[in-house]
Structure 1
Amino acid sequence: MVDIFLIIVTLVAFIILTVVALYLLVHYQHPDDKNEAYLPKFVVIFGFVLAGATVLMLPLDVANNEGYAGCAGYDTSFCGGLNMEIMWSIVFWAIPIWVFVLIPFSTFYYEADDGMLMAGTSYQPDGAPKSKIASACCYQLFVFIIVGGIFGASYFIFSETNIPVRSYEGARLLNGFTDTVTPRRNLTTGELLTFSSHQLEPMTQTDVNYFKSVANEGIVELTLTVSVSNFYAGLMAFFGWFLFAIFGGVGLAAMPLDLIMMYIKRPRHLDAQEFQELQTSLRERTNELVDIGELIKIEREEKAQLGLTSGWGATMFDSEKRKEARDERQAILGFKQAVYLLEQDVDDFQACHANYENYNPLIPYIALVCGLLSVIISVMWFLHIVIYVLPSPPLRPFLNNFFGWFDKWFPLFGVLSVAIFTVYLLLCAIKGCFKLGMRFLCMTLHPMTPGKTYMSSFMFNIGLVLLCALPVVQFCSTAFADYAKYATIRQIFGVQIEYLNFFSFFWKNDVFIFAFLIIMLLTSVYLACKPADQATNSQALRDRLNSRRS
């Protein structure tokens, strides 16, 4: 029977995610995109909903299956009335469609008329502009061929999973299982399982009690071919882990610091001398960046006139051009970083003086409260990894007991706690990406600034969130294995995907989790020494640009 409460919660969560996505789009979009770029807006809104639904599916899965012990003889996917296996399959297909089809196509379409960005390829030989749709389709076809080839070859080679199980001889008919079904114990989760129709399912308590007394047990390997949707979920999680281990580790340390710094650097009323000094400093920085912007513009116009390009095809066989392209990229990234920090300082300056009376004084205190809460969550994640995730066997259940205690007190609190800890990791991945790009100029900055964010930045951030969503779900299903032991996703990631050929080395040896923890510790030490973001030296950047033109 369908649990009406879970249906209502699912619908409410979907509505909330949609409303939040619309609000963020309206609040952050640039005025130039107000009545344009409808396709990218659609992709962004429902991409946000998809990312939120992915991480919130884990607590829904737990709530749907938490009463498994009381629904003996039924499929574990239906204990709460929701078929979580089908719902997860929909998510597993939707994420690669969004990441590798809709977001790239929308980005190419949105930027098709930017001749400099596309290295001059948005015009035909006779000078007439190409169709934006035709240009986007050409680039998308290239992406589709590469991604399709990788996905197809990977499934053909690595689709088998070898699950170590403990086999019990002498099975007999119990609760609907025929005597041809041999019960087995999963060596990862410790659960007794039955094998039927290519699906491993936990046994009912009656079966468990019987087979605990069965002798003649031995360890065997059960070889299965993983379904296409489950395999691609594992493949997407594998690729996403490279991003999540880096960005999530950085963000887990940076998130509390940046929120607390918002309180420390909150706007204060300036006296006449402080106002004059700050105004002079901002004016000088503005003039320097205007000069640098003019140098970059002149350099790019000269290259366009000479027909020079800095694309991948033009530089991959020429080391000198590759070095020149890297220098140009570093200069542009340094310029963007300096402009962003200047804009932040100008906003703070206006809040201290011109807009002081209109500034909401509660914002810094809200940031402080959120910062203190994020400190607690980050520390608890660190302790949980050290105490439960990495040791084998775990030293203590830790957060699993915490969630279980909440469920006994008030069931909804345990599920909400899982949702908070899961969503927090996804937010940390976004923070880590921006923080890493800000400090080391290793990637293009895509900050989310109210009223100043172009759709290209929206789509970049949504793509990043979707790539990190499945690693977050996999990590949380492992970290909360005791609490979520009956969840469908635990059987998918913890039983099938964990033992996939080639990928199993990374999962079984916790390679990504160790990397995640080490990066978090290194970032904490680094930010403790250099807590504030600093702009690239404008004079050095100007000298570098002048030397490139000489």
Structure 2
Amino acid sequence: MVDVFLIVATTVAFFILFVIAVYLLVYYSHPDDHNEAYFPKIVVIIGIMLAGATCLLLPLDVANGEGYPGCDGYNTKLCGGFNMVLFWDIFFWLIPIWVFLMIPFSTFYYEADDGMLMAGTSVSPNPVRKSKILSAVGWTTGVVVFVSIVYVVAYFLGNEAQIPVNEFTGVDLLQSLTLGSDKRGVVFPNTALLNTTDNEPLPFTSNQMQDMNIYDAAYSDKVVDNESVSILMQVSVSTFFAALMAWLGWFLFSVFGGIGMASMPLDLILIFKNRPKHMDAVEFAEAQKSVRDRCNELVDIGELIKVERLTNPEMGKKARNERQALLEFRQAVYLLEQDVDDFKACTQDYDNYNPLRPYISLFLGICSIILSLFWIIHIVVYILPQSPWAPFLNAYFAWFDTWFSLFGVISVAIFTIYLLFAAVTGCFKFGLRVACISLHPMILGKTYMSSFLFNTGLVLLCALPVVQFSAQAFSDYARYTTINQIFNVQIDNLTFFGFWFTKNIFVYIFICLTGLTCVYLLCRPKDSGPSGVELRDRFRSRGRGRT
């Protein structure tokens, strides 16, 4: 029977995610999109809920198996009642559907422009809508076909996992588990004992299976005729898709998550440090002149870009230098807008500024510092060593549960969601400091749907790496979860993906970028874009060179 409390908690969690998604969409959307782009808005709302729910499935999995040592996700009688294997399979399919189908279609449809939709045109909107749909379907079909081919080829080449086990015969352990000396079995890491003759679980009680796990981890030298063997196992289609999505997502999460782990606390604290303050006449005049000069420079650059696009449209699209200059121009515009908002907050909007905002940011910044430090320490003492030096956070979560049964589960949720926020923050910080990707900031009342779709796709791509990373980091505390068996047993032993995960390649990238970002931000804490004068001179010199 399903635990009623788990049903209520799951329902409340989905409702909260829905409220958060709608709130973000309503308060951050640009006024131009208020009565437009309804389908992309639905895709964004469901995508945000899907990303959040994927991360929250881990604490749900922990709560479902908490206190049930024999829980494996299949036998729900030994768990809290939820079939977590089915839950995870559903999300393993929904994430790629959203990343490779729904978001690309929405993006292509939203950004489609065939030149027919203009103010005052007499052309019927139906051909325009049809043209945009056909264009979006065509591009999306190409994406889906490419991804399908890659997945099918990868699945048939590497869908087998070699799972290491311990094979034993003897009486020392068997007598303690009420087995005869003629029995043989194998022990999976953190799993139950299997009979090698028919591959069925041996009839152990939950306490006996827990003893087996402890025995295998700490007393393997006492087993008579112990021999290391491996079992060849073909993973399911959904599990392999999860491995592929996690592997792809790790390339983004290891970079952006590592940067965000260091930059997010600093950004929050700088909001407090740079809070609006009253300016005297001299400071007001200097700030006003600086903003006006920068604005004039960027207006000149914008006019040069417009002229260059009209006279040389192909060059504007294909030239690498043109794209780099355009990205730097967008950086400068964004930073100018931020400085203008800060200037207004210090002058004409000073009385309307919420004085609690910087103090809330300071509090969140302190919390972020604590979470980042705990994560770094946990990675160093538990994940990176071949034999963990200390359980650290696993022990603290178990200790929290002694106070209240859900304290540890809530803590797992906080640490997991924090990684997702760090990845989004790191992506924006990287784009702001290194002009190689387009900026898609979430600005209150100024965010277009293209930025919503980009950020939704980013969090969905990072969701499975976050879950895998958390399952690895909290494997002691979450030892009876289904996701622990999926990632730490099956996926970690796949032929290709297992090498990347078991060697902690992505984790090393993550922790190295966190350290490098800390050093870099301590030297250059303030975001500063390219010089407007330099950009303007660069465009003018290219214009003279072509003439």
TM-score (norm. length: structure 1)? 0.90
Aligned-pair CA distance for 1:185: 2.2
Partner residue, 2:150: 150
Secondary structure in 1 aligned to 2:32?
Answer: helix
CA distance in 1 between counterparts of 2:265 and 2:201 reads 41
One-letter amino acid of the structure 1 residue matched with residue 246 of structure 2: A
Partner residue, 2:417: 423
Which deviations, in whole Å up to 9, do the C-alpha atoms of 1:200-246 show, x marking residues without a partner? 99973225658968633311110011000000001100010010000
One-letter amino acid of the structure 1 residue matched with residue 206 of structure 2: T
Partner residue, 2:187: 185
CA distance in 2 between counterparts of 1:381 and 1:71 reads 28
CA distance in 2 between counterparts of 1:174 and 1:466 reads 47
- Confirm whether residue 206 of structure 1 aligns to residue 208 of structure 2: yes
CA distance in 2 between counterparts of 1:327 and 1:144 reads 31
Partner residue, 1:294: 303
Alignment match of 1:329 (pick from 309, 323, 326): 323
Change (3 A) 1:477 1:200: farther
Change (3 A) 1:74 1:115: closer
- Confirm whether residue 245 of structure 1 aligns to residue 254 of structure 2: yes
CA distance in 2 between counterparts of 1:178 and 1:82 reads 35
Equivalent residues of 2:73, 2:85 under 8 A apart: no
Q: CA RMSD in A?
A: 2.9
Equivalent residues of 1:248, 1:428 under 8 A apart: yes
- Confirm whether residue 266 of structure 1 aligns to residue 299 of structure 2: no
Secondary structure in 2 aligned to 1:67?
Answer: coil
Alignment match of 1:487 (pick from 481, 487, 504): 481
CA distance in 2 between counterparts of 1:383 and 1:537 reads 39
Secondary structure in 1 aligned to 2:231?
Answer: strand
One-letter amino acid of the structure 2 residue matched with residue 274 of structure 1: E
Change (3 A) 1:273 1:478: same
Secondary structure in 2 aligned to 1:220?
Answer: strand
One-letter amino acid of the structure 1 residue matched with residue 286 of structure 2: E
CA distance in 1 between counterparts of 2:114 and 2:416 reads 38
Secondary structure in 2 aligned to 1:496?
Answer: helix
Aligned-pair CA distance for 1:190: 4.7
Which deviations, in whole Å up to 9, do the C-alpha atoms of 1:437-490 show, x marking residues without a partner? 100111000000011100000000000000000000000000011101111100
Change (3 A) 1:395 1:175: closer
Equivalent residues of 1:77, 1:488 under 8 A apart: no
Change (3 A) 1:129 1:93: closer
Equivalent residues of 1:249, 1:429 under 8 A apart: yes
- Confirm whether residue 365 of structure 1 aligns to residue 367 of structure 2: no
Range that drifts further, 167-176 or 470-479: 167-176
One-letter amino acid of the structure 2 residue matched with residue 436 of structure 1: F
> Which runs of structure 2 are paired with 1:443-458 in the superposition (5 Å)?
443-458=437-452
Partner residue, 1:39: 39
Secondary structure in 2 aligned to 1:411?
Answer: coil
Equivalent residues of 2:74, 2:85 under 8 A apart: no
Secondary structure in 2 aligned to 1:423?
Answer: helix
Count of paired positions = 524
Equivalent residues of 1:484, 1:490 under 8 A apart: yes
Change (3 A) 1:72 1:50: closer
One-letter amino acid of the structure 2 residue matched with residue 145 of structure 1: V
One-letter amino acid of the structure 2 residue matched with residue 144 of structure 1: V
CA distance in 1 between counterparts of 2:272 and 2:453 reads 30
CA distance in 1 between counterparts of 2:315 and 2:480 reads 56
Identity %: 55
Secondary structure in 2 aligned to 1:2?
Answer: coil
Aligned-pair CA distance for 1:78: 5.3
Partner residue, 1:277: 286
Change (3 A) 1:354 1:79: same
Partner residue, 1:385: 379
CA distance in 2 between counterparts of 1:342 and 1:381 reads 34
CA distance in 2 between counterparts of 1:442 and 1:199 reads 54
Aligned-pair CA distance for 1:145: 1.5
Aligned-pair CA distance for 1:194: 3.1
Equivalent residues of 2:308, 2:316 under 8 A apart: no
- Confirm whether residue 223 of structure 1 aligns to residue 232 of structure 2: yes
Partner residue, 1:541: 535
Change (3 A) 1:93 1:128: closer
Equivalent residues of 2:74, 2:84 under 8 A apart: no
Aligned-pair CA distance for 1:407: 0.4
Equivalent residues of 1:77, 1:84 under 8 A apart: no
Aligned-pair CA distance for 1:178: 13
One-letter amino acid of the structure 2 residue matched with residue 289 of structure 1: L
Aligned-pair CA distance for 1:75: 2.3
Equivalent residues of 2:260, 2:429 under 8 A apart: yes
Equivalent residues of 1:72, 1:204 under 8 A apart: no
Change (3 A) 1:128 1:436: closer
CA distance in 2 between counterparts of 1:210 and 1:388 reads 22
CA distance in 1 between counterparts of 2:266 and 2:148 reads 41
CA distance in 1 between counterparts of 2:391 and 2:67 reads 20
Equivalent residues of 2:297, 2:532 under 8 A apart: yes
Secondary structure in 1 aligned to 2:312?
Answer: helix
Equivalent residues of 1:65, 1:76 under 8 A apart: no
Secondary structure in 2 aligned to 1:446?
Answer: coil
- Confirm whether residue 6 of structure 1 aligns to residue 3 of structure 2: no
TM-score (norm. length: structure 2)? 0.90
Equivalent residues of 2:69, 2:209 under 8 A apart: no
Unpaired segments ≥5 residues, structure 2? 117-126, 216-221
